[in-house]
Structure 1
């Protein structure tokens, strides 16, 4: 287990390296040390075939990068950081949407690029990967729907003006709509799912929209019933 002093040193070193880099690519001892660790972890992940096991490994290894990430977010001014972007994606895969959103906010503010093997933009990757993870978490027991909803709202706001394929944005609105429904916000859920359907008619939400419409009619009828019985 890393000592508090060591963690402080890692955070401060990362912040100083990020500040010193300015708008140039990240470099320096703190960055290279974390890059070496990531390379070994990446090799371990590549040798694992099970996606479920990959997610477990990512949850296991991500804490070692936490102080580096905190330092960069505190001291950074926009240096391209492939390590930071990789950690963002790993956090999504590991189910840590909130942790990924914290990096995404910085990445979008400073126009950071995703790792080389990704052809999509950073905004599109965040929107699609977070949407996929959110839909997965909605099917799991114990998911804090309100926390998930906040993260999705943040992602939608951060990526609203970005250019991306309609199918990707539709997936984000689908995830947002289903989460709103789970939170009991049916009118907002209806609006989000209608937006998703407008972007991609094959997004697969028509039946759920019909159910929500019936539920809203029932709610409206129940709300009006007491007034009808008076007089």
Structure 2
């Protein structure tokens, strides 16, 4: 798979096959390049079943995913929305492997064309995308780390309007609220109060929405802190 010519061939082949089948009522089944990747996916799935450790599964997925990149690039470039079990499965694998940007590239296509998830996935696409990324972000934030705000904003843009359980949507808003809030320290002395106020105002909106959706989401203390800081950094005059 390191051969550039082979990667180019697979990308072009996937693009041609995806462009030939339009609409979610159709499927990529029967396409040679699709069937080859589906067979490989099934083989790799069996390899993953033999690994008990969650961390071990994630590491194996990180090793396997590059082999599918040409196929994904081809389908995303020229695809017209045909059902594609390879693509939807790889979207989840990318999230499991920590490649959230790559997962969102696929998610945007999958949601745009309303592709169905394989039967073994019980949640809808929007729920999977929002909840999986939000849960990782919240775990990082709880441990005192930071999670990429732009990734969370893109997640909301792609999946935020999808129908999902209130608890799942609350997690995304909570993660966003925390990400905005952590941009402002308690002793912040920034001269650009417009930016500071903007972060805090966005944090308040997301945290309040998370609590509205799920009162036990755990964002009440964060909201109290944000409201306290908002009083300190009074809204700048226009």
Residue number in structure 2 paired with 1:11? 11
The CA deviation string for residues 69-124 of structure 1, in whole angstroms up to 9 with x for no partner, is 00000110000001100100011111111101111110111000111112221111
TM-score norm. by structure 2 comes to: 0.85
1:153 equivalent to 2:139? Answer no
Aligned with 1:90 (options 87, 93, 112): 93
The alpha carbon displacement at 1:137 in A equals: 4.2
Distance across 1 between alignment mates of 2:161 and 2:101: 21
After superposition, residues 27-106 of structure 1 pair within 5 angstroms as 27=29, 28-106=31-109
User: When the two structures are aligned, how many residues end up with a matched partner?
Assistant: 220
The alpha carbon displacement at 1:190 in A equals: 1.5
Secondary structure of the structure 2 residue equivalent to 1:21: coil
Equivalent residues of 2:126, 2:160 under 8 A apart = no
- Provide the aligned C-alpha RMSD in A: 2.1
User: Which range moves more in the overlay, 133-142 or 180-189?
Assistant: 133-142
Distance across 2 between alignment mates of 1:53 and 1:219: 46
Distance across 2 between alignment mates of 1:98 and 1:137: 17
Residue number in structure 2 paired with 1:177? 177
Equivalent residues of 2:130, 2:160 under 8 A apart = no
More helix per residue: 1 or 2?
Answer: 1
Distance across 2 between alignment mates of 1:5 and 1:167: 46
Instruction: Return closer, same or farther for 1:7/1:44 CA change in 2, 3 Å cut-off.
Output: same
1:112 equivalent to 2:126? Answer no
Q: Which runs of 5+ in 1 are unaligned?
A: 225-231
The alpha carbon displacement at 1:132 in A equals: 1.4
Equivalent residues of 2:88, 2:118 under 8 A apart = yes
User: Which range moves more in the overlay, 106-115 or 205-214?
Assistant: 205-214
Distance across 2 between alignment mates of 1:135 and 1:36: 35
Equivalent residues of 1:193, 1:205 under 8 A apart = yes
Residue number in structure 1 paired with 2:187? none
TM-score norm. by structure 1 comes to: 0.88
